[in-house]
Amino acid sequence: MTGTVGLRPLWEGLTPPSAWARPTEHAVGARGVRVLTAGGGSLLCATSGLWNVPLGYGNEAVADAVGAALRSASYLSLFRSSHSFAHHAAETLLSLAGADRYARVVFSTSGAAANDLTMKLVRQAAALEGASHRNIVVGLQGGYHGLTYGALSLSGDALGQSVYAADRRAVRHVSAHDGGAQLRQLFAREGSRIAALVLEPVLGSGAIALDDEFLAAVAEVRAAFDFVLVADEVATGFGRTGVLFASERWPVEPDVLVLSKALTNGAAAASAVLVSGAVCGIFDRDDAVFVHAETQAGTPASCAAILATVAEFERLDALRLAQDLGRSLDATIARIGEHPGVVGTRGTGCFRSLLLAHDGRMLGGAEIAQVVASVRRAGAIVQPGPGCIQLVPAYVYERSDLDELETAVLHGLEDSGVAA
C-alpha cells in the first residue's frame, strides 16, 4: 500500500484529510460556553461539547474531584474485582434513575461501547433463558448508537456499514415515523427471535422525538412478546429534554438505560448501563458470568467525575435551568424560523434542529456542512444533521448567549448562500 503522510500527525475524525489542521477549527481551550481556537477566536458553543458539557466547560468541582481521585487511587480495575469509587457511583446512579426500576450498573467508556455491551447482555440473557435463537436486536431507521463495531451495526444511519463489513445479520431496523406499522409487522414476523428493541427517545441524528403513536406501538409489542427494552439516553439523559431521563415519559418502563455524555460533564471517557432487576435475576439464577470488561471502565477518576457531576447538577438546580432554557429556546428558534431557508424545526427541550431547504429542496450533507462552516465564521459552533443544523446548548446559557447564537445562525444562513 502506498500513500503520503505529510505534516498532520493527528487523524481527525469524520473529516477528509484535506480539511485537517485548520487554525479556525483547532481548539486550544474551552471555558463556560466558549471554545478558544488556535486562530485567536472565541466561539460560542451551541453543541454542549457534543452534548457532553451541559454544565459548561471547566467546571471546577468536577475537575477537583477528578484530581483528588487520581491522587488517592490513580487506577483501579473492575476486572474480576471492584472498588469503593465504582460502588458509590453505581449506588448514586441507581438512586437517581430509580432503584425500583434498575438494580445494577455496568460501567463502560463511551456511548458506543455501552451499546456494544448491551447487545451482548441481551443476547446472553436470552441464551440463559433457553432461547439462544432469540438474538435479533432491533433499532430505528436514522437512529445513531455509535461507531464501534457493534454500535455501527445497530445504527440506522448510513455510516459506511458495508465498507467496514459491519455484521447486521442479527440486526433489524424499523421506521419511527409510521405510527409503529413496521414495528408491528416485524414482531408479527420475527417476534420470537427478537432479544431487544433499542430506542433513542430523541434520535441523535436530526433531533427527532419519538411520538406518542409510535410509543403506544412499543407498549403493544412489549405486552405481546418477551424482549428487553433498551433506552439509549446517551444524548438525552440528565435533563436534555426537560426531564431527568426522557424515557420516564414512555408508557412502558425500559429494562436497560444507557447513559454517557452528560454523565461526567465531559470530564472522563465514561458511560453506564443500568440494568433492571428482572434482567439481573436471569444472570443471578444461573450464577452466570457476563464476559465483558474494559480496561478504563469505572476507574476511580471517571467515577469521581460521575459523582461530582451529579452533585453539581443538584447544586445548580440544572434540571430547572434546562427547563427554563428550553422555553427561551422556543422563542429563539421561532425567530430564526422566519428565515426563508428554514422550513421546519424538530426536537424538544434543549435538543433542537432547524430543517433547511433551498428552492424547495432539502439541503444535502455538503450543503449542511457549508452552513455549519458559515455559522462558525459568524462566531458559533452548531452540529450538522440530515437536512438540518442542530442546536444543543449548555444549560448555563445566559440570555445574551441565546441572542448571540440567533445572530450567528442568521448570519451563517445568509452567508452560506445555500439556504434560501
CATH number at residue 348: 3.90.1150.10
In this prediction, residue 7 carries a pLDDT of 66
Q: Let me know whether 325 and 411 are in one domain.
A: yes
CA distance 43 to 381: 7
Q: Let me know whether 410 and 306 are in one domain.
A: no
CB 348 within 8 A of CB 167: no
Q: Let me know whether 123 and 241 are in one domain.
A: yes
Q: Could you say which of 287, 315, 343 is where a domain stops?
A: 315
CA distance 21 to 281: 51
In this prediction, residue 5 carries a pLDDT of 52
Question: Could you list the mean pLDDT of each consecutive 10-residue stretch along the chain, which spans 420 residues?
Answer: 64 87 85 92 96 98 98 96 97 97 98 98 98 97 95 93 94 97 98 98 93 98 97 98 97 98 98 98 98 97 98 98 98 96 96 94 94 96 96 98 98 84
Domain tally for the chain? 2
In this prediction, residue 291 carries a pLDDT of 97
In this prediction, residue 4 carries a pLDDT of 53
Q: Let me know whether 218 and 364 are in one domain.
A: no
CA distance 232 to 42: 33
Residues 6+ apart with CB under 8 A from 175: 140, 141, 181, 182
**Contacts by residues 315-320 (CB-CB < 8 Å, ≥ 24 positions apart):** 315/61, 316/55, 316/395, 316/396, 318/54, 318/55, 318/238, 318/239, 318/395, 319/239, 319/243, 319/244
By residue range, what is the domain housing residue 339? 17-45+317-416
Q: Let me know whether 353 and 412 are in one domain.
A: yes
Q: Let me know whether 404 and 308 are in one domain.
A: no
Q: Could you say which of 277, 298, 315 is where a domain stops?
A: 315
CA distance 176 to 183: 8
In this prediction, residue 26 carries a pLDDT of 86
**What pTM, to 2 d.p., does this model score?**
0.95
CATH number, domain at 125? Answer: 3.40.640.10
Q: Could you say which of 290, 315, 340 is where a domain stops?
A: 315
Q: Let me know whether 152 and 233 are in one domain.
A: yes
Q: Of 53, 89, 57, which is closest to residue 73 (Cα–Cα)?
A: 89
Length of the chain: 420
In this prediction, residue 205 carries a pLDDT of 86
Q: Of 186, 195, 207, which is closest to residue 142 (Cα–Cα)?
A: 207
Residue 12 resides in a domain:
no
Residues 6+ apart with CB under 8 A from 99: none
CA distance 16 to 13: 8
Across 144-171, b (16+ Cβ under 10 Å) vs e yields: bbbbbebbbbbbbbebebeeeebeeeeb
In this prediction, residue 25 carries a pLDDT of 78
Residues 6+ apart with CB under 8 A from 310: 92, 93, 96
Residue whose cell numbers read 430505528: 140
Residue 186 resides in a domain:
yes
SS percent in the chain: helix, strand, coil, step 5: 40, 20, 40
Q: Let me know whether 242 and 375 are in one domain.
A: no
